[in-house]
Amino acid sequence: MFYVNKLRDICYRNDFYLSLLLTKDMAGSWLGAHIDGVLLHAGDVRAPADVFGDIYQVFLILGTLVGVVVIAYTLYNSYKYRAQDGAAPESVDRPSLGELPTSGGGGRKLFLSFSISAIIVLSLIGWTYTTLLYVENEPAQHEDRMDVDVVGHRFSWEFVYPNGHSATGTLRVPKNELVQLHLTSNDVFHNFGVPELRVKADAIPGQTTTAWFVGKETGEYAAHCYELCGSGHSYMDATVVVMERDAYREWYNTTSGGNETEAVKP
């Protein structure tokens, strides 16, 4: 991800320098084609899966670090202050219950550890919140995306493409393209989720909810219903097929307004 971001930075910078040299129109069209190329064809749309991966990694690393420091410090102190035969008990002016320590390093240490913990926790909350705002807002900023309606039925998933073509059980999408889902239900509450693509949203009758994802690798991804919706709930599965862009376009051009049912792989 780092290298992809770096690549995008470099491309943007070059776009900027180039636009100084070319006329406005020439620069505009070159820039448009180029950004398209970078954002869509190189798979540079930051997917929710990447965002959640980053959050997981940061929490894992920080959690491990804090754990190591706390355990090491505990072990160090238990060794340092271990009971020793024959040693006279140290006379220390300890604060009594309810009294703040007035002298010595104890108070400073306490204050320091509280401050560091507060800074870490508050920055984590801030960072996670702003990162999740990206997941919330990105599709609105991104004009070049694919919109699909997802309708929950007892007990199947129906996908309706922009040309009116509807398919039951299989959703085909092109690789590296932002796929915006508009979910609703025909009967009861359902919940559409594709664990591997880190996408999950309610499908509620009379309402439309949205969710989005980017398939970065071609292949088949299992989708399930995550809301207990009746006796067939556990069979309410679907497959998301991420295809190469050309293969997808070829397939999409053969579709019309008809309904097609593809068997769901168990």
Distance between CA atoms of residues 94 and 99, nearest Å: 10
Site string for Cu ion, 145-184 (x = CB under 5 A): ----------------------------------------
How near is the Cβ of 232 to Cu ion at its closest, in Å? 8
* 11 part of the interface to Cu ion, by CB under 5 A: no
How near is the Cβ of 226 to Cu ion at its closest, in Å? 8
Rg over CA atoms, the chain: 28
* 229 part of the interface to Cu ion, by CB under 5 A: yes
**Alpha helices, DSSP H, located in 48-180:** 48-80, 106-141
CA 167 to the chain's CA centroid: 27
**Nearer Cβ to Cu ion, position 39 or 151?**
151
How many residues at the interface with Cu ion, by CB under 5 A?
4
Exposed/middle/buried for 160, CB within 10 Å: 0-12, 13-18, 19+?
middle
Site string for Cu ion, 112-151 (x = CB under 5 A): ----------------------------------------
**Nearer Cβ to Cu ion, position 45 or 225?**
225
Q: Look at the block and give the residue holding tokens 């320590």.
A: 101
How near is the Cβ of 224 to Cu ion at its closest, in Å? 9
Contacts with Cu ion in 66-105 (CB under 5 A)?
Answer: none
For the chain, count helices (H), then strands (E): 5, 11
Interface with Cu ion by CB under 5 A: which range of 26-34, 46-54, 55-63, 233-241? 233-241
Which one, of 122, 151, 132, 161, lies nearest residue 251 by Cα?
Answer: 161
Taken as a whole, the chain contains a residue count of 266
Interface with Cu ion by CB under 5 A: which range of 56-64, 95-103, 126-134, 230-238? 230-238
**Nearer Cβ to Cu ion, position 49 or 229?**
229
Distance between CA atoms of residues 251 and 57, nearest Å: 37
How near is the Cβ of 194 to Cu ion at its closest, in Å? 14
How near is the Cβ of 245 to Cu ion at its closest, in Å? 31
How near is the Cβ of 166 to Cu ion at its closest, in Å? 18
Within a 10 A sphere around the Cβ of 49, how many other Cβ atoms?
18
Instruction: Identify whether the C-beta of residue 124 lies closer than 8 Å to the C-beta of residue 63.
Output: no
* 225 part of the interface to Cu ion, by CB under 5 A: yes
Judged by CB under 5 A, which of 39, 179, 236, 238 binds Cu ion?
236
* 39 part of the interface to Cu ion, by CB under 5 A: no
Sheet of strand 209-214: strand arrangement:
209-214, 178-185, 146-153, 156-160, 166-168, 259-261
* 194 part of the interface to Cu ion, by CB under 5 A: no
**Nearer Cβ to Cu ion, position 134 or 235?**
235
3-state SS class at 178: strand
Instruction: Please give the residue ranges that form the binding site for Cu ion (CB under 5 A).
Output: 190, 225, 229, 236
